[in-house]
Structure 1
Amino acid sequence: MREDNSLSLSDLSDSTNIRENESLLSLLLKDHTTGKNIKWGTDSYINHGYSFRDDQEIKINLITGWYEGFIRPRVDKDIDLQLERQRNKAEVFTPSWVIKLQVNAALKDMEKLPLADFIQTKWLEITCGEAPYMVNRYDMETGEVIPLKDRSGFIDIKFKKLNKKIELEEEWLKLAVEIYKASYGYEYQGDSLLLARENLILTFIDNYFYMFGAFPKEKILLEITKIISLNVFQMDGLTYEVPYSVGGLEESGTQLNLFEEIETEEYITPKLANIKLWGVDKTIEFKLLSERNDTEMKFDVVIGNPPYQMTTEGNNRDVPIYPYFMDEAYKISNKALLITPARFLSDAGQTKSSWNQEMLNNPHLKVLYFDQYSGNIFKNTDIKGGVAITYYDNEKEFGHIEVFIRSKELEKITSKVSSIMEKSINLIHHNRSSYRLSDMVYKDFPEMKNKVKKSERLSITSNIFDKLSDIFLDEHPKNLKDFIGILGRQNHKRKVKWIRRKYIQDHPTIGKWKVFVAKSNGTGAIGEALSEPFVAEPHMIPTQTFITLGNFDTENEAIALNKYIKSKFARVMLSVKKATPDNARKDVWSYVPLQNFQSDSDIDWMGSISDIDSQLYKKYNLDNDDINYIETIVKEME
């Protein structure tokens, strides 16, 4: 049989034979922390009745017989359910090539290990879903079975080495058991967890069949399955709890008829998930792994694709949670390879800036892979700022990332520009919240205090034209000295309205020329076009929809700045830090050089934007490769 490893027994039988064996299926459904069965952990099946609620156990009779084939891989589910679980349960398909890239990177330092030592390296796949990083049996995008020789999960790789070096069945089985003892994963959703466990035992069957041309005996199957059920368990990765183990009502297990009441028991405290440590032969709470500095309790590798965000109750806002999974991975392992949104590498997005800086200055962390277009990895998924695979190794120092630049070409250009640049344009950047209303508004219109939050009463918010409409004039007033124009948006259009000067606090730019730029533009792609900047005359200010650049005495200076902002050169330098739509923060502009916008400048601002670009390329010593990169990737603005 070893001559043909493109097929395997379990490719043909899949999970059907497993679910027909009640002893195996009982183990596959076992939760060793609670002593009960794993929970559904998803409301995807709730339409089928009470027993299919997310807080109920998955029972054998609910997935066999009439319900055979009820639980199936996500790729086989209908498209509406796939999209629902992508939105609400953070499920995305991780392509096989991404899995291979991550696994292979972790394997580089293990190539010379003796077979037994390599097999015993401990790996954990976090939020494992159907366990593609452990056993890459089928393509997560297409559902097609992957031939044994082409699989790239870490268990697959271990079996490849085992199959190559050991032919005696007794010795092979002994080491196969060790493979499973060293392989861990956790998952919240019970249906995915069952599929993960099945994939692991089917992978054992695949390899046994490949080596010995027969179906393995039930005794060894039960032994392997028990290990799997202990090592791949149900857990909420944010709390370490077994889902629905606190305050949840559990059926007594007795079959009821329609007229009987359900007997229940209630858990008093949440149950923290346990993990079996085979090397020291003890079971502990998983949470303790991150709290104790004990090498016996650490993993050699943590790998996976963690959840990216969750929606908080109340404000319906998406909060990033992948930083938590990254931090925890670094606490419990020597190496960690995780694929996440890349925004934090540009100190952007909703992650805390302090955490972003901690990552950027961690000498043990490097970027293994980056793509600013998330759709290239996860189909039909738009992740602003792109996606990155980061590699953490606490035994190596890669140097600080400090500033992550998203392409080698841009990195080269940035190096040249930075060596010449004396000052940044962020020196003439004015924070969008620096313009403020005065207290006079509420002295003249006391009833308006109830229209806005106390904390926002002096803010010139993006919706101020609607909130405080009575203080604005739509028409240009005759006595301009007593009024200030405000650029904002209303009904999805830019508008200038007028407000009495006494209602605005003093600001250094009020009597000056400047340029307003929308605080949010595009997606964060390198060199994308910006919304049209607005050259603002004296006695004009913006709402918080815009930022302000400049503080000039003459109109020509503001016009020159406007041309500069629209130049390809300035926008490619803006892309060094602008990885998301947001460009409101001062530091986003820090790599855009400040220019002299007066008539004695070394740049002739009277020319076209294309002419200005050519002058800037020459000023910063850019070569033909640099120029071709900019001209190709940066969108034109007139």
Structure 2
Amino acid sequence: MNNNIHNPDVLSCLANLSSDEVFTPPEIANAMLDLLPQELFSDPSVTFLDPCCKSGVFLREIAKRLNKGLEAHLPNREERLEHIFRNQLFGIAITELTSLLARRGVYCSKYPNGPYSVVRFDNAEGNIRYKHITHTWKSGKCVFCGASQAAYGEQARQEGLESHAYEFIHANNPNNLFPMNFDVIIGNPPYQLSDGGDTEERRRGGAIPLYHLFIQQAKKLAPRYLIMIVPSRWFSGGRGLNQFRNEMLNDKRLEQIVDYPDSSECFPGVQIEGGICYFLWNREYYKNCLVKTIQGTKISSMIRPLLENQAETFIRYNESISILRKVQKYNEPIISKLFSSQKPFGLRTYIKGRDKKEYDSITLYANNHIGYIRKEEILQNTSWIDTYKVFISAAYGMGGKFPTFVIGKPFLGKPGTCCTETYLFIGPFKTKIEAENVISYIRTRFFRFMVLLKKNTQHAAAQVYSLVPMQDFSKAWTDEELYAKYGLTGEEIEFIESMIRPMEG
């Protein structure tokens, strides 16, 4: 007999369908369940719902805890399991395939009315339901989730393909799905849905976020506790998330947030830009939130308001709070006023210009390319062409790994230059020296650390620079000067330099 045979939990080994539908490892599911008051698992009246079942891991791990916690109340094991699976555990699967997988994981049989089910139900679903739902179209979009009719309508989908019309978020009244109230709602919802746009649109964040709809729908059921694991992108808002972000950050019922800036530490092998978090929402709680950040073996915890008064944003890293407060005491203008919006010259990313320079050509900085374009082809802000300016990439993926550059390297734009939307424009400046001094500031770790406080995704639009203070650009800047100016301590400097890589010229 080979004693070295590895026999892992199958739910730990499942390949992920995509970064949009990620299976939860049992260890993370249990860490989420640890946030709940553990006496819940000794109460035979408590009910649990997973409204977005994939592997069934949450219901399975809850069943284990209830089986142990209810021993004193229901000593007979068969009676105890009968009660747990019939009266306490409920789920809604996101696809027909995951409904079978979830039932197999929870009931030990994909057909809970079959002979191998741990509890024999009268139907083939048990308490884990799945219903094929169609989108409700209006003006080419689903009124519930925003899916594109061109991409997900019946004429566009091949037979057998999923419609991705998830039942829980396609119901006007989620109370009608189960005729009961739930004490705990827990899950890992689908994260996003392609909007059917072209490759370039998807690269720019064209996918429609979905996870916030599951959270908002769950709150309508008024559970005692709500726990979900979702991308951390909502910390800074973004497409379709600004209202949700405001709702969450102003909701005093958020008791805990556990944040993984590197998603692969939570979901091995899966990289989700901006990281992953899970949270505990407590209907009876109304205080500051415990924010816990996990980076490898380093765990930072702080009970604090989710919104800093002046920043009007969620500051992700606890160690950043004291630094931000010192900077904001100066009440300086912010540098984002010098940054353009997207498409500074009205030129899309796919525009490359001509390869050959003509006597009246403007130099065009495009995506991994330098071309040439005539002035009359430039759609807006033509007054910027003959000025000194700074260009910087409008996107930079950090991947959750630290230390990081945070943003791409800035470079000088001389008179007679422009760019596509691959870059942001900073300026304009009257002299070359002033523009170069701005570049020296951007290269500092201090500058890029202040950007990090707002930047949770690869996209680096002007708004991520809104916490960075303006400086006197008649001179160049170094980190040592900035650390001294804002009175940062050795510990604060050490934290900045642990997060931000030096950027050479």
Give the TM-score, by structure 1 length: 0.61
Aligned to 1:621: 487
Q: Quick one: which amino acid aligns to residue 310 of structure 1?
A: L
Matches of residues 131-530 of structure 1 in structure 2 within 5 Å? 131-135=56-60, 153-163=61-71, 165-166=72-73, 168-169=75-76, 174-180=79-85, 181-202=87-108, 224-226=120-122, 229-235=125-131, 287=171, 290=174, 297-313=180-196, 315=198, 317=202, 318-332=207-221, 333-348=223-238, 350-365=239-254, 368-398=257-287, 401-402=306-307, 403-435=313-345, 459-466=346-353, 469=354, 474-475=356-357, 477=359, 483=360, 485-489=362-366, 492-493=368-369, 495=370, 497-500=372-375, 505-506=380-381, 509-523=384-398, 525=400, 528-529=404-405, 530=407
Q: Is the 8 A contact 2:185 2:227 kept in 1?
A: yes
> Following the alignment from structure 1 to structure 2, what is the Cα–Cα distance between the partners of residues 337 and 177?
25
- Displacement of 1:382 after TM fit? 1.3
Residue 22 of structure 2 aligns to a residue whose secondary structure is coil
Change (3 A) 1:167 1:528: closer
Maintained 8 Å contact 2:365/2:418: no
Give the match for residue 121 of structure 1.
46
SS in 2 for 1:98: helix
Give the equivalent residue in structure 2 for 1:546: 423
Q: Secondary structure at the match of 2:70?
A: helix
Question: 8 Å contact 2:231–2:275 — kept in the other structure?
Answer: yes
Q: Structure 1 pair 179/220, CA: closer, same or farther in 2 (3 Å)?
A: farther
Amino acid at match of 2:357: E
CA contact (8 A) 1:405 1:411 kept: yes
* Matching residue of 1:45: none
Match of 1:52 in 2: none
User: CA contact under 8 A between 2:185 and 2:225: conserved in structure 1?
Assistant: yes
Deviation at 1:373, TM superposition (A): 1.0
Q: In structure 2, what is the Cα distance between the partners aligned to 1:331 and 1:541?
A: 50
Partner of 2:459: 582
Deviation at 1:560, TM superposition (A): 0.6
The structure with the greater share of residues assigned to helix is 1
Unaligned runs of 5+ in 2: 1-6, 137-143, 145-152, 155-164, 289-304, 308-312
Which stretch shifts more, 505-514 or 419-428? 505-514
Separation (CA, whole Å) in 1 of partners of 2:166 and 2:374: 59
SS in 2 for 1:420: coil
Amino acid of the structure 2 residue aligned with 1:134 = L
The alpha-carbon deviation at position 424 of structure 1 amounts to 0.9
Q: Tell whether the 8 Å contact from 1:335 to 1:391 is kept in structure 2 after alignment.
A: yes
Alignment partners' CA distance in 2, 1:538 and 1:95? 54
Distance 1:623 1:427, change over 3 A: same
- The residue identity in structure 2 corresponding to 1:102 is M
Identify if the C-alpha distance between structure 1 residues 362 and 486 changes in structure 2 by more than 3 Å, giving closer, same or farther: farther
How far apart in 2 are the matches of 1:131 and 1:382? Answer: 22
Give yes or no for contact 1:367–1:388 (8 Å, CA) kept in 2.
no
Aligned with 2:247: secondary structure? helix
Question: Retained in 2: the 8 A contact 1:577–1:588?
Answer: yes
Q: Distance in 2 between matches of 1:420 and 1:595?
A: 11
Q: Does 1:593 align with 2:487?
A: no
CA distance in 2, matches of 1:425, 1:340: 31
Partner of 1:634: 500
Per-residue CA deviation, residues 301-323 of structure 1 (Å, 9 max, x unaligned), is 11111111233446474332212
Q: Which of residues 11, 33, 58 is equivalent to 1:103?
A: 33
Q: In structure 2, how many angstroms separate the alpha carbons of the residues matched to 1:95 and 1:74?
A: 6
Contact 1:304 1:339 in 2 (8 A): yes
- Which has the greater radius of gyration? 1
Distance 1:76 1:551, change over 3 A: closer
CA contact (8 A) 1:462 1:545 kept: yes
- Percent same amino acid at aligned positions? 24
Q: Does the CA contact (< 8 Å) of 1:187 and 1:236 recur in 2? A: no
Contact kept in structure 2, 1:488 and 1:543, CA below 8 Å? yes
Secondary structure of 1:637's counterpart equals coil
Instruction: Give 1:237 shift.
Output: 8.2
Deviation at 1:103, TM superposition (A): 1.0
Provide the rounded CA distance (Å) in 2 between the counterparts of 1:632 and 1:98: 26
The answer to which of 563-572 and 402-411 deviates more is 402-411
Residue 474 of structure 1: how far off its partner (Å): 3.3
Question: Could you say what secondary structure the match of 1:299 adopts?
Answer: coil
1:633 Cα offset (Å): 2.2
The CA RMSD over aligned residues, in Å, is 3.8
Q: Does 1:564 align with 2:441?
A: yes
| In structure 1, C-alpha distance between the alignment counterparts of 2:62 and 2:365, rounded to whole Å | 55
CA distance in 1, matches of 2:493, 2:166: 57
Structure 2 match to 1:61: none
- Aligned equivalents of 1:74, 1:499: Cα separation in 2: 58
Question: How far is the alpha carbon of 1:475 from its aligned partner?
Answer: 2.6
Matched-pair contact (CA < 8 Å) for 1:273–1:286: yes
CA distance in 1 between counterparts of 2:284 and 2:123 reads 30
Secondary structure of the corresponding residue to residue 197 of structure 1: helix
When normalised by structure 2's length, the TM-score is: 0.75
